[in-house]
Chain A
Amino acid sequence: MESRIIFHIDVNSAYLSWEAAYRLQHGSPIDLREIPSIVGGDQTKRHGIVLAKSIPAKKFNIITGESIHSALQKCPNLTIVPPSYSRYMEASEAMVDMLRDYSPYIQRYSIDEVFLDYSNMRKCYMEVAHEIRERIHKELGFTVNIGISHNKLLAKIASDFKKPNMVHTLFPHEIREKMWPLPVEDLFMVGSRTKKKLNSRGIYTIGDLANTDRDYIYSWLKKPGLLIWSYANGIESSPVSNLPPPVKSVGNSSTMPFDVDNKKEAHLVLLGISEMVGMRIRDLGQRARVVSVSIKTHDFFSYSHQRKLDTPTSSTNTIYGIARKLFDEMWQGEALRQFSISLSELSSDDFFQLSLTDLINEKDEILDKTIDKLRYKFGYNSVIRSSFLHSGISPIIGGVIMEEEYPMMSSKF
């Protein structure tokens, strides 16, 4: 294992860099990377959060994920550009295409992060890393950080060192010097909650965690504790896999442009989301046994409800029926801004346990299949339910990109 060489290639402020490169290509005199700027959702539709920021914007303490409103308070002359996901997908594709020149083992970890296995190659890995970095900069017009180590975890941490446009290594002998002094929340899988827990017992740096007794961590934090303890010691051995991890759940959510305050509209929104998740789960050839619905009120309070079914389902009508019931049971009548439906406990569509009481509605299945085919061929809005007409609510809701699968971050390598 020691001989593996893994690269983690991470695009510096991805959305913003891609947007900047695209704009320069189209003759814009301004490089967004050199001024305080952000890529942000549409404020009028209330998707107003910071998705990516330039380095000058970072100097104003603007953080990814905060509202555009608060970002503007920190920096009134901030330039805000809307996102265009399909273009970012193109930029990401171009980068992955270029990386294929260097190794057949490439794992697309998210839209802007890629692992590449460069083990047992003839050329020196350091030279190659710099070549990749320079080629991406010159040919594609954006910058990346490359982290190099013997495993994916350390490579990922290394790419997060000083930015932009740099190559860093973090081999096991460098852990003590380069990784252990970092605050414990910089470790992969340590979120704000775990950070609080660790801090409460005097663990502030990754080194503190690594040097805590393993059995003590286990008795305190159980299995997840062992995982982060291993990570703190640089132990991780998953392969760079070309295959996407198996899907464990399918969900979509939508923030509405206006507050929904009546049942009729809320049901329509749920129906729109059911159409999307139904279509996606059928496309995966799966069925789900658990349907869960969650809602967020206009004052950002959220709650959810879920139900386990006797027979796994993939039918839009069934999903909608359950979602509506769940919604009616939990809704207290507040104005709502966000809805989501998620399906889990997935199983294959080929064989599944039938129930004596719950009959499968064959007509429904055929109808779903036919509608899916029509929509894939002629566009998502080629067939819609008439209840959506003049409702102001989209008949199929959810997803950033409608045309293609969009690789999202996962908590697993």
Chain B
Amino acid sequence: MKPIEMIAWFNEGEYPIPLRYRIKSEDMSNVVVKVDRIIFKEEEKLAGNRMFLYRCEGIINKSQKIFELKYELSTCKWYLYKI
């Protein structure tokens, strides 16, 4: 799990909303993925470390995929957790 580049929306609510992120694909080209829908969001604090976990839907390589993103509060970093 590596940190990713992310554009997120911080509104007046409690947690940020991921909009689109960029990852390096296998041929080292950049792929931008738009987050179409957040299926659910939960907060976890494993070993006392707070993170928001988002299960989302988006189009990657022309097919719709489900993936999980994480936002770590202590470092303000976004991660692509599962795909």
Contact = CB atoms under 8 A, between A and B. Distances in A.
B83 to A, nearest CB: 11
A198 interface: no
Nearest to A141: B46
Contacts of A21: 46-47
Per DSSP, chain A at the interface is helix
Contacts of A22: 46-47, 49
Interface in A1-40: 17-19, 21-22, 24-28
Interface residues of A, number: 21
B4 to A, nearest CB: 12
Contacts of A309: none
B71 to A, nearest CB: 12
Which of B44, B47, B70, B79 neighbours the largest number of chain A CB atoms within 10 Å of its CB?
Answer: B47
Nearest to A22: B47
A400 interface: no
B66 to A, nearest CB: 16
A114 B44 CA distance: 23
B81 interface: yes
Interface stretch (A84-92, A295-303, A346-354): A84-92
B1 A140 contact: no
Given A26-B1, A27-B1, A91 B47 contact: yes
A158 to B, nearest CB: 25
A142 B47 contact: yes
Nearest to B44: A25
Contacts of A90: 47-49, 74
A194 to B, nearest CB: 36
Contact of B48 (A26, A27, A28, A95): A95
Contact of A26 (B45, B74, B79): B79
A18 B49 CA distance: 10
B47 A141 contact: yes
B51 interface: yes
Nearest to A86: B74
B46 A140 contact: yes
A139 B47 CA distance: 9
Which of A26, A87, A90, A140 neighbours the largest number of chain B CB atoms within 10 Å of its CB?
Answer: A26
Nearest to A90: B48
Given A25-B51, A27-B1, A139 B79 contact: no
B63 to A, nearest CB: 23
B69 to A, nearest CB: 12
Interface string B41-83: 0001111110100000000000000000010001000010110
A283 interface: no
A139 B1 contact: no
Interface in A83-129: 87, 90-95
B48 A94 contact: yes
Interface in A49-79: none
Contacts of B45: 94, 139-140
Which of A19, A28, A93, A140 neighbours the largest number of chain B CB atoms within 10 Å of its CB?
Answer: A140
Given A25-B51, A91-B48, A142-B47, 17 more contacts: A17-B47, A18-B47, A21-B46, A22-B46, A22-B47, A24-B46, A25-B44, A25-B47, A25-B49, A25-B70, A27-B81, A87-B47, A87-B49, A90-B49, A90-B74, A94-B45, A95-B48
5 contacts: A21-B46, A22-B49, A25-B47, A25-B51, A27-B1
The 9 closest A-B pairs by CB, nearest first: A27-B1, A94-B48, A141-B46, A21-B47, A91-B48, A90-B48, A91-B47, A25-B46, A22-B47
